[in-house]
């Protein structure tokens, strides 16, 4: 989205704003490109892996542990080979 607005050249400055978990998305986007500022409203004080792990773990502790281990692999390796959820809804690819 940032690249889209930069290409239009209608704006002198670009700021990103995110609320709650959206603040994590805004921070991630800001880390990948140059923006003039970032506004985080009620943003988490934890990294996205910890936040998502806690949210899922509160609903399903076993799945929360699996998600935590997947994030650990992702952080260490930069990718997850054969994600366990890839063929189950809502992750199933549409053909």
- DSSP-derived 3-state class of residue 85: coil
Band the pLDDT of 20: cuts 50, 70, 90: confident
Q: How confident is the model over 34-44, as pLDDT tens digits?
A: 999 999 998 87
Q: Is 16 exposed, middle or buried (0-12, 13-18, 19+ CB in 10 A)?
A: buried
Measured over the CA atoms of residue 89, residue 43, residue 46 and residue 28, the dihedral's sign is: positive
- The residue among 82 and 34 whose pLDDT is bigger is 34
Whole-model pTM: value is 0.55
């Amino acid at each position: 989205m940032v690249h889209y607005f930069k290409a239009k050249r209608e704006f002198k400055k670009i700021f990103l704003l995110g609320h709650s978990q959206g603040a994590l998305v805004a921070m991630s986007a800001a880390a990948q490109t140059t923006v003039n500022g970032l506004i985080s409203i009620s943003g988490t004080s934890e990294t996205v892996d910890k936040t998502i792990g806690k949210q899922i773990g509160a609903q399903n502790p076993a799945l929360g542990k699996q998600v935590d281990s997947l994030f650990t692999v992702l952080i260490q390796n930069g990718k997850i080979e054969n994600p366990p959820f890839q063929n189950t809804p809502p992750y199933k690819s549409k053909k």
